[in-house]
Amino acid sequence: VDSSLVAALAARALGDRALAVTAVSPALATGELDGARGVADAVGIAHVTITTDELARPGYRANGRDRCYHCKTELYDALAALAARRGYAALCSGANADDLGDWRPGLRAADEHDVVHPLVDLPKDRVRALAAALSVPSAAKPASPCLASRIPYGTAVTPDTLGRIDRAEQAVRALGFPELRVRHFGGLGRLELPAEALARVPEGGALEHALRAA
């Protein structure tokens, strides 16, 4: 919703001088790209995709506490190159006021690339309210950080692990649970659901089967 609101505001302020960009990599969950395309179409902003290769960066694969710094450095390097080729003057992100209270090493990468954060003074609930007022389709969408965030620090990030997490989460979503996380612990997958969803867990072990099948 954060980036979607920035896109909606950019489209209103700049028209065809604004561009929304989605980075595609193994860490992007299935369905997220389609969602981004839908938002871009709804808010009336041009949209392109780029491919990022954060897995080529040793610091990202090692998955230390600064993993997001290496990921965002890859992202902003690619975005800066695109902006230079196409003549765009600024890179914007959806970071909001709530992000400033979390551990966000990616913000350091943003600072190094002079990224602008239009929502940095707004708390998350205000971001959602504004998105709803502008009819942004993702206004109520649950937060969906990258798949690598499901892997404990110190456990290497690999394409196979990211794919396993993605398959497990898609299988659980297909059972009617849109908000979830599948945490990766080697051969063990731990499913997190909101408290209200626990009452809807089906009998017969369907969730366990979904995880094991992945």
Strand partners for 191: 182
202 vs 75, more confident: 75
For residue 46, the model assigns a pLDDT of 98
Closest CA to 214 of 157, 171, 179, 150: 171
Q: Supply 201's token pair.
A: 């867990």
46-51 and 19-24 strand pairing: parallel
Q: What is the pLDDT of residues 102-126, one digit of tens each?
A: 778 999 999 999 999 999 999 999 9
Q: What is the pLDDT of residues 36-65, one digit of tens each?
A: 999 999 999 999 999 999 999 999 999 999
Q: Supply 8's token pair.
A: 């909606």
- 58-66 — which CB contacts under 8 Å span 24+ positions? 60/148, 60/157, 61/156, 61/157, 61/158, 62/156, 63/148, 63/151, 63/152, 63/153, 63/154, 63/155, 63/156, 63/157, 64/153, 64/154, 65/103, 65/105, 65/153, 66/105
Q: CA 59, CA 153: separation in Å to the nearest integer?
A: 12
For the chain, percent of residues with pLDDT exceeding 90: 91
Average pLDDT of every residue of the chain: 95
Q: Supply 123's token pair.
A: 């708390």
